[in-house]
Amino acid sequence: MTPGATLSRRGFLGRGLAAAGAALAAPQLVAASALGKDGATPPSDRINMGFVGLGGQGGGHLFGGAWTYLPGGYLGRADVQVMAVCDVQQKRAEDGKARVEQHYAGKFGAGVYKGCGAYTDLRDMVARDDIDAVLIASAYHAAATLSLVALRAGKDVYCEKPTSVTIGGGRAVADAARSLSRVYQAGTQQRSEYDGRFRRAVALVRGGRIGKLQKVYSYQVGGGFEFPPSTGRSKPIPPEVNWEAYVNWLPWFDYDGNTGAHRFGYGDINWGQHHYDIVQWGIGADDTGPVEIRLEGGKPVYRYANGIEVIGSPPPGQGWGEGGATFVGSEGSITVHRAVLTSNPASLVKEAPGLGDAGVYYSTSHSGNFLECVRTRQRTICDAETAHRANSLLLLGGIAMRLGRTLKWDPQKETFPDDVAANRCLAMAAREPWRF
């Protein structure tokens, strides 16, 4: 399928039935459930997906865990067909493939199922025409480039945070998703999950229940990415590790035995995007950002053009806790965490406005919202532009912390006016062939 093309509900794969039949190993008998009989979802209504990164979070998405909120994860969904898995560690990819095929063999009653590919490089996986969408749960530094590769191959993308480690990379992803008409969902599931607490808080704030919004405590500091010099701990690259794919766009560095996700970050580069996403949502700033970032006590404070300030720390007298947001207005405040929705005065959260008020997007399943938008070609609850702006807020705070001074920011041009040193922090040169 060419970039920019759209999928109808029945046209996910004119390849649907053929692919299902080819997936079943000899003897060439296709189970009724694989063909959509006996009440099963027919192949033409399934979304064919590939999964990139099979560690804790990626494995949870695929096989069931805290990020899918459904038993069995995406693999357990009747409306999804897992066509391929990818991990830079070959054994992890092969183990994932075996587990997928074992599941489908039992589900289809086929005895043996051979219909899931295993890869160590996303570029090989997305070259397949029979994959509609990919879920990316990669090393932090690789998320934006892998998203771009998938988008340019005509795939829809669900990407875990941090969705980019640079503002330039996030802008490239947002522009590609828009220009190629691809569906994109960031893994900031607080917009959809947790019994709707975050959505209700945003509806209350944007519906005027706390009066005029004045400031927001984000409970999260800024964060960023800094590629360090070589550690000097060079080791031979094992044949079962695709080190080229792991290094990705970064300057080449020798294999050191570490293929973890959490490298080279400073500040709260991962967890922070969740909460700055809710801050942006509550402010109504999903397509813009602050105009100034200053430091108070070493923590970032963001000022928006309308005078609202976002403070990168908890309210006075409160601990950091698990993170969240406290919205403070002229008539009270609302605090929301994953397990908490409270207000001062307490009456503010007793009666919420209708959840459709104030233009608040309604979703009760983050993965379900992504899949539905793949079918309908509608905008997801956290699309590429929205994700980029929330992540930019986190990264802007990190840049201010790194430079140790106040910064002016132009949210339309996405530059620091007349500030060469700060603008150097917006992007890094990419190694061939991993260019943004």
What does 332-366 look like in DSSP terms, one character per residue? Answer: EEEEEETTEEEEESGGGGTSPPPTTGGG----S-H
Instruction: Let me know whether 215 and 104 are in one domain.
Output: no
Instruction: Let me know whether 24 and 55 are in one domain.
Output: yes
pTM of the model: 0.89
Pairing of strands 184-186, 47-52: unpaired
Confirm whether 86 is domain-assigned. yes
| Residue carrying the six token digits 């941090």 | 162
The confidence score (pLDDT) of residue 188 equals 95
- Write the CATH number for 289: 3.30.360
Instruction: Supply 87's token pair.
Output: 């991990």
Instruction: Let me know whether 300 and 284 are in one domain.
Output: yes
SS3 content of the chain, % helix, strand, coil (to 5): 35, 15, 50
Residue 392 per-residue DSSP state: H
Each residue's pLDDT tens digit in the chain (436 positions)?
433 333 433 333 333 333 333 333 333 333 444 444 444 566 778 999 999 999 888 999 999 987 777 789 999 999 999 999 999 999 999 999 999 999 999 998 878 899 999 999 999 999 999 999 999 999 999 999 999 999 999 999 999 999 999 999 999 999 999 999 999 999 999 999 999 999 999 999 999 999 999 999 999 999 998 887 666 678 899 999 999 999 999 999 999 888 988 888 888 888 899 999 999 999 999 999 999 999 999 999 999 999 999 999 999 988 887 778 999 999 999 999 999 999 999 999 886 555 445 679 999 999 999 999 999 999 999 999 999 999 999 999 999 999 999 999 999 999 999 999 999 999 999 999 997 6
How many angstroms separate the CA atoms of 414 and 288, rounded?
9
- Write the CATH number for 18: 3.40.50.720
The number of distinct structural domains making up the chain is 2
How many angstroms separate the CA atoms of 87 and 221, rounded?
31
DSSP state string for 169-215? HHHHHHHHHHHTT--EEES-GGGT-GGGHHHHHHHHHHTTTTSSEEE
How many angstroms separate the CA atoms of 409 and 286, rounded?
16
How many angstroms separate the CA atoms of 187 and 135, rounded?
10
CB atoms within 10 A of CB 296: 10
Confirm whether 284 is domain-assigned. yes
Instruction: Let me know whether 324 and 349 are in one domain.
Output: yes
Confirm whether 319 is domain-assigned. yes
The confidence score (pLDDT) of residue 8 equals 38
Whether a cis peptide bond, with omega within 30° of 0, leads into 345 is: yes
How many angstroms separate the CA atoms of 184 and 114, rounded?
29
Among the listed residues 122, 129, 172, the one whose alpha carbon sits nearest the alpha carbon of residue 7: 129
Question: How many helices and strands (H and E) does the chain possess?
Answer: 12, 16
How many angstroms separate the CA atoms of 122 and 137, rounded?
12
The confidence score (pLDDT) of residue 19 equals 37
Give the range of the structural domain holding residue 328, as residue numbers without chain letter: 195-224+267-361+385-425
Instruction: Let me know whether 323 and 213 are in one domain.
Output: yes
How many angstroms separate the CA atoms of 301 and 308, rounded?
10
The confidence score (pLDDT) of residue 264 equals 86
SS3 annotation, 216-276: EECCCCCEEECCCCCCCCCCCCCCCECHHHHHCCCCCCCCCCCCCCCCCEEECCCHHHHHH
